[in-house]
């Protein structure tokens, strides 16, 4: 499968002119209609910015479990930030071999390192729990990457608005974020610990799923294993290419494009190559989500329940009660009887 490559430099988007945006919107339209994904190159984010975040991730994820658990994710409704330990999430039949650290980006990330007291506060805006002593430089690196990803995503939102036949600022007006305390706008730092080739028989690095976001920007190191599913159900590799970012179509744009674009199902498998599976894999995922109070699908979507829930409630229902929306988002099974109390099982 040929993954469409979009060279962001070609459009000279700094000028912000409509003709350039139109060209980008045509490329996005083609990529999302055909494959549900694209590879972005010359996107303005430097290798150094990305490497700095990976360096922090590597330091954090290699800490003893007990220390990482001091930063534990407190639950979905509470605060969508913090550490998610190995075995906490489960997105399908096989156990997922990943751990992650979520940072909420709807509000500005804090401009100072946080004290132990701050960390206990559940209402802290955009709290990024990585303090300077534990993981030097991680917070600053994440802030820098976040501001660049935000700029990139706002251009994509504008171009996608045109692609779905709307005014340029249509999607931006649904993705304002500021002060949205219920937002699921997140950066997810992922870590896939070293494993062995036999593990692939009983487990997977990340079970197949579609993202709930509008679209997702995905950065990965060179370990591989990320795959997308084509319209015939075949899996194809989303091979790592230095300095490129994978853009994935997700559910909100599927609904708001009136199903013209389909959210790409994807997964991360354990690489067959032994050196790769015995190595950690790191990724950075930027979920571009609409604001919490925005309808999860348009009122014109006749195949979906009306009136639509808002994005926040929709996400909560799907994540907390996976059976509820099965017909609409392919959430297929209720909690597995095998699940332990602390495991969130999410079938998409
Ligand atoms: O880590 C990856 O490459 C994929 C993770 C993913 O699909 C997700 O977090 O939704
Ligand atoms: Fe995903």
CA distance 223 to 221: 6
Atom of ligand 1 nearest to the CA of 211: 10
What lies within 8 Å, CB to CB, of 148 at 6+ separation is: 44, 45, 49
Pick the CATH number of 5-294 from 3.10.180.10, 2.60.120.330, 3.40.50.2000, 3.40.50.10860: 2.60.120.330
Give the number of the ligand closest to the Cα of residue 204.
1
Question: Which pLDDT score is estimated for 37?
Answer: 98
**Cα of 252 to ligand 1 centre, how many Å?**
17
Distances (CA, A) of 7 to 35, 215, 244: 17, 18, 10
If DSSP codes are grouped into helix, strand and coil, which group holds residue 109? coil
Distance of CA 3 to the CA centre of its chain: 19
Where in the chain are all domains bearing CATH 2.60.120.330?
Answer: 5-294
Q: Whose CA is nearest to atom 10 of ligand 1?
A: 211
Atom of ligand 1 nearest to the CA of 190: 1
**Cα of 54 to ligand 1 centre, how many Å?**
15
Q: Whose CA is nearest to atom 2 of ligand 1?
A: 283
Give the number of the ligand closest to the Cα of residue 221.
1
Give the number of the ligand closest to the Cα of residue 285.
1
**Cα of 206 to ligand 1 centre, how many Å?**
7
Instruction: Find the residues whose C-beta lies inside 6 A of ligand 1.
Output: 188, 190, 206, 211, 218, 220, 226, 266, 268, 283, 285
> For every one of its 348 residues, what pLDDT tens digit does the chain have, with 9 covering 90 and above?
899 999 999 987 766 677 799 999 999 999 999 999 999 999 999 999 999 999 999 999 999 998 888 777 766 555 567 888 898 877 778 889 999 988 876 554 444 555 656 655 554 433 454 554 568 788 788 888 988 998 899 999 999 999 999 999 999 999 986 656 666 678 899 999 999 999 999 999 999 988 889 999 999 999 999 999 999 999 999 999 999 999 999 999 999 999 999 999 999 999 999 999 999 999 999 999 998 899 999 999 988 889 999 998 888 777 665 444 332 333 322 223 333 334 444 443
Q: What is the ipTM of this complex?
A: 0.99
């Amino acid at each position: 499968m040929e993954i469409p490559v979009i060279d962001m430099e070609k459009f000279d988007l700094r000028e912000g002119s409509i003709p350039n945006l139109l060209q980008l919107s045509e490329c996005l339209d083609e990529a999302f209609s055909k494959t549900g994904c694209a590879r972005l190159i010359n996107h303005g984010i430097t290798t150094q910015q990305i490497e700095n975040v990976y360096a922090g991730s590597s330091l954090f994820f290699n800490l003893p479990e007990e220390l990482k658990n001091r930063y534990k994710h407190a639950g979905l409704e509470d605060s969508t930030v913090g550490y998610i330990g190995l075995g906490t999430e489960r997105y399908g039949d096989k156990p997922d071999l990943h751990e992650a650290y979520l940072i909420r980006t709807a509000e500005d990330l804090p401009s100072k390192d946080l004290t132990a007291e701050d960390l206990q506060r559940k209402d802290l805006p955009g709290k990024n729990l990585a303090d300077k002593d534990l993981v030097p430089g991680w917070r600053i690196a994440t802030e820098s990457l976040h501001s660049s990803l935000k700029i990139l995503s706002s251009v994509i939102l504008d171009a996608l608005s045109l692609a779905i036949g709307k005014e340029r600022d249509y999607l931006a007006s649904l993705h304002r974020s500021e002060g949205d305390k219920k937002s699921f706008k997140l950066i997810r730092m992922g870590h896939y610990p070293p494993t062995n080739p036999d593990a692939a028989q009983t487990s997977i690095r990340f079970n197949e799923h579609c993202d709930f976001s509008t679209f997702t920007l995905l950065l990965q190191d060179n370990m591989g294993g990320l795959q997308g599913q084509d319209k015939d159900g075949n899996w194809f590799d989303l091979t790592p290419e230095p300095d490129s970012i994978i853009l994935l179509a997700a559910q909100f744009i599927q609904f708001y494009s009136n199903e013209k674009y389909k959210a790409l199902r994807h997964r991360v498998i354990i690489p067959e190559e032994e050196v790769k599976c015995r190595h950690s894999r790191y990724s950075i995922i930027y979920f571009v989500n609409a604001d919490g109070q925005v309808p999860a699908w348009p009122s014109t979507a006749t195949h979906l329940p009306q009136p639509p829930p808002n994005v926040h409630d929709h996400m909560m229902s799907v994540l907390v009660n996976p059976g509820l929306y099965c017909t609409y988002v392919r959430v297929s099974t209720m909690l597995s009887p095998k699940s332990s109390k602390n495991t969130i099982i999410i079938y998409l």
